[in-house]
Structure 1
Amino acid sequence: MTRPGCHDGADAADSFDPLRPLLMRVAYRMLGSVADAEDVVQDAFIRWLGTDRGAVREPAAFLRRTVTRLCLDQIKSARHQRETYVGPWLPDPLVEEDEEDDVTLPLMIALERLSPLERAAFLLHDVFGVEFDEVATTIDRDPAATRQLAARARTHVRDARPRFKLEKKQGLRIANAFYAASRSGDMAALGALLAADVGMWSDGGGKRPAAMEPVLGFEIVMKLHRSLAVLFGKYGSTLVHAGTINGLPGFVTRESDGELQTTALEIEDGKVVGIYVMRNPDKLAHVH
Structure 2
Amino acid sequence: MSTPAGTDPASLLRERPLLLNIAYRLLGSLTEAEDAVQEAYARWYALTPARRAAIDSPGAWLTTVAGRVCLDLLGSARVRRERYVGEWVPEPLPDRAEWIGGAVGGGASAVPDDPADRVTLDESVSMAFLVVLESMTPAERVAFVLHDVYRYPFPEVAGIVGRTPAACRQLASSGRRRVRAAHAPAVPVAGQAGLVRHFKEAWEAGDIKAVVGLLDPDATMVSDGGGLVGTVLRPVVGSRRIAEYLVFIAAKAPGLTLLERTVNGRPGLVAQHSGVTVTVAAFDLSGDRVGRIWAVRNPEKLQAWAALDTPGTPGAPAPTTDPAGI
Q: Do both share a fold (TM > 0.5)?
A: yes
User: Pairwise mapping of residues 54-203 of structure 1 onto structure 2 (< 5 A)?
Assistant: 54-97=53-96, 98-164=120-186, 166-203=187-224
Structure 2 residue identity aligned to 1:216: V
Q: Write the distance in 1 (CA, Å) between the matches of 2:241 and 2:207.
A: 16
User: Pairwise mapping of residues 12-91 of structure 1 onto structure 2 (< 5 A)?
Assistant: 12-51=8-47, 52-91=51-90
- Deviations, residues 191-221 of structure 1 (Å, cap 9, x unaligned): 2211111110000111111111011112221
Are the counterparts in 2 of residues 255 and 261 from structure 1 also a CA contact under 8 Å? no
Are the counterparts in 2 of residues 85 and 205 from structure 1 also a CA contact under 8 Å? yes
Q: 1:269 corresponds to which residue?
A: 287
Residue 253 of structure 1: CA displacement? 1.9
Q: Write the distance in 2 (CA, Å) between the matches of 1:177 and 1:285.
A: 28
Q: 1:244 corresponds to which residue?
A: 262
User: Pairwise mapping of residues 198-237 of structure 1 onto structure 2 (< 5 A)?
Assistant: 198-232=219-253, 235-237=254-256
Q: Write the distance in 1 (CA, Å) between the matches of 2:274 and 2:202.
A: 18
**Where in structure 1 do 4 or more consecutive aligned residues deviate above 6 Å?**
none
Are the counterparts in 2 of residues 87 and 205 from structure 1 also a CA contact under 8 Å? yes
Are the counterparts in 1 of residues 220 and 238 from structure 2 also a CA contact under 8 Å? yes
Structure 2 residue identity aligned to 1:137: G
> TM-score, with normalisation over the residues of structure 2?
0.79
Cα gap change, 1:76 to 1:102, in 2 (>3 Å): closer
Residue 154 of structure 1: CA displacement? 1.5
Unaligned runs of 5+ in 2: 97-119, 309-326
Q: Write the distance in 1 (CA, Å) between the matches of 2:42 and 2:123.
A: 28
Residue 156 of structure 1: CA displacement? 2.2
Cα gap change, 1:68 to 1:20, in 2 (>3 Å): same
Q: Write the distance in 2 (CA, Å) between the matches of 1:231 and 1:73.
A: 42
Are the counterparts in 2 of residues 102 and 247 from structure 1 also a CA contact under 8 Å? no
Structure 2 residue identity aligned to 1:269: G
Q: 1:3 corresponds to which residue?
A: none
Q: CA RMSD in A?
A: 2.1
Number of residues of Structure 1 aligned to a counterpart in Structure 2 = 277
- Deviations, residues 156-177 of structure 1 (Å, cap 9, x unaligned): 232333432x222221121122
> TM-score, with normalisation over the residues of structure 1?
0.89
Cα gap change, 1:107 to 1:100, in 2 (>3 Å): closer
Residue 120 of structure 1: CA displacement? 0.4
Identity value in percent: 38
Structure 1 residue identity aligned to 2:217: A
Structure 2 residue identity aligned to 1:229: A
Q: Which has the higher helix share?
A: 1
Q: Write the distance in 1 (CA, Å) between the matches of 2:181 and 2:237.
A: 17
